[in-house]
Amino acid sequence: MAGKKILVVTTVKADESEVRNQLADAEEIRIVAPAAKISWLGWLTNDEGDARGEAQQAAERVAQAVGNDARVQVDETSQNTDAAQDVADALRSFPADEIVVLTRSGEDSSWLEDDAVRASFEAHGVPVRHLEL
C-alpha cells in the first residue's frame, strides 16, 4: 500500500541496512522509543535517565536509517517506561496503518510480551509487525 503511515516502536539502534527495506513503502513514519531497558531497581528509584537517553538515541538512529522519501518524526514525548502508554499516546495523533516493533534477536523483550502492551496494540485495531534485527 503506497502512502502508508507507520508507527515504529523501537528499543534498538538500528542500522540503515536493517530498516530501510522494511519501511520502504511508508509515506509517513513516527518513531516511538520507550525507555524499556531499565532495571527493576532503576525503575523503583526513579533513576530512568540512562534508559531515556538510550531510547532517544535509538529513535534518532532509526530516523537516520530510514533514508527514503518518507516524512519521519521522532515522538519527543515518548521515552517513558510504559511502552503501552507511549503507543496509545502516539496513535491518538498519528493514525497509523501499521505498527512496526523493532527489537534485537535474543533481546530480553519482556516489555513487548506484557499483557498491557499487547492489549494496547489490539485495542486500536492496528496491524503489528515485529522485526527482530
Report the alpha-carbon distance of residue 105 to residue 133 in Å, rounded: 6
The reported pTM is 0.79
Residue numbers of the domain that contains 20: 4-132
Q: In angstroms, how far is CA 13 from the centroid of its own chain?
A: 11
At residue 124, the pLDDT reads 82
Q: At a CB cut-off of 8 Å and minimum separation 6, what does 48 contact? A: 35, 38, 42, 81
Count of domains forming the chain: 1
Cell readout for 104 is: 534485537
Convert the pLDDT of each residue in 64-116 to its tens digit: 888 667 899 988 766 666 778 888 889 999 999 999 988 877 655 555 555 66
- Using an 8 Å Cβ cutoff, are 124 and 46 in contact? no
- Estimate the crossing angle of helix 83-93 against helix 115-123, to 10 degrees: 10
In the chain, % of residues over pLDDT 70: 71
- At 122, which CATH number? 3.40.50.620
Nearest to 26 by CA among 112, 107, 123, 129: 129
Report the alpha-carbon distance of residue 75 to residue 97 in Å, rounded: 17
